[in-house]
């Protein structure tokens, strides 16, 4: 199945109906800040507990590429594996899995010795923004419920 077909199917399945270009800048900025905070929390958790017990390479990879996209950093397999502290083979398998879900893609890059760069897709960016917006809304709702309980 072509990437566009997978992307359309996935959009329909999880209810992501708009492209990342249609997302308001405030939501995108909030999602990016949330991704950075989540990444920081993961790195702290790994420092104290270690990634082998509570690691989540696929999620960390997805966040890394979402964050790198904003700063236009290019990403090779080796760069990503080093950044994640994950073996190249493990990182490669997760890239393939996320690529199958249309969240990431590999592209040719003439400045890279391997010629391949990994990027988050527009669909992946839209999923990240919608995910973090849903988390933010849930947290706001929980905070409102908490305030209401405290008022009684």
pLDDT digits (tens, 9 = 90+) for 103-151: 999 987 766 566 689 999 999 999 999 999 888 888 777 666 656 666 6
Handedness of CA 98, 100, 103, 105 (dihedral sign): positive
Give the residue from 69, 91, 99, 77 showing the smallest Cα distance to 3: 99
Model confidence band, residue 95 (pLDDT cutoffs 50, 70, 90): very high
Residue-range domain boundaries for the chain = 3-151
The CATH topology of domain 3-151 is Arc Repressor Mutant, subunit A (1.10.10)
Residue 5's φ and ψ, nearest 5 degrees, are -70, -40
Q: What pLDDT is recorded for position 12?
A: 59
Q: What is the mean pLDDT of residues 3-9?
A: 60
Residue 97 confidence (pLDDT): 95
- Taking 60 as the threshold, does the pLDDT of residue 18 lie above it? no
Check residue 41 and give its pLDDT: 85
Report the distance separating Cα 75 and Cα 64, nearest Å: 9
Q: Which of 10 and 122 is assigned the larger pLDDT?
A: 122
pTM: 0.76
List, for residues 58-70, the tens digit of each pLDDT value. Answer: 999 999 999 999 8
Torsion, CA 64, CA 65, CA 68, CA 69, rounded to 10: -150
Question: Which residues make beta-bridge pairs with 65?
Answer: none
pLDDT for residue 40: 87
Tens digits of per-residue pLDDT, 68-83? 998 877 799 999 999 8
């Amino acid at each position: 199945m072509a990437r566009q077909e997978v992307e359309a199917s996935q959009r329909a399945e999880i209810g992501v109906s708009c492209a990342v270009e249609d997302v308001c800048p405030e939501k995108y900025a909030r999602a990016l800040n949330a991704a950075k905070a989540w990444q920081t929390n993961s790195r702290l958790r790994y420092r104290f507990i270690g990634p082998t017990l509570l690691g989540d390479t696929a999620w960390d990879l997805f966040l890394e590429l979402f964050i790198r996209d904003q700063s236009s950093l290019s990403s090779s397999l080796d760069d990503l594996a080093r950044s994640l502290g994950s073996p190249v083979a493990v990182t490669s398998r997760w890239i393939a899995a996320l690529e199958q879900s249309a969240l990431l893609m590999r592209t040719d890059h003439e400045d890279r010795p391997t010629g391949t760069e990994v990027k988050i897709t527009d669909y992946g960016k839209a999923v990240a923004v919608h995910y973090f917006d849903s988390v933010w809304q849930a947290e706001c709702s929980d905070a409102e419920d908490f305030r209401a309980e405290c008022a009684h």
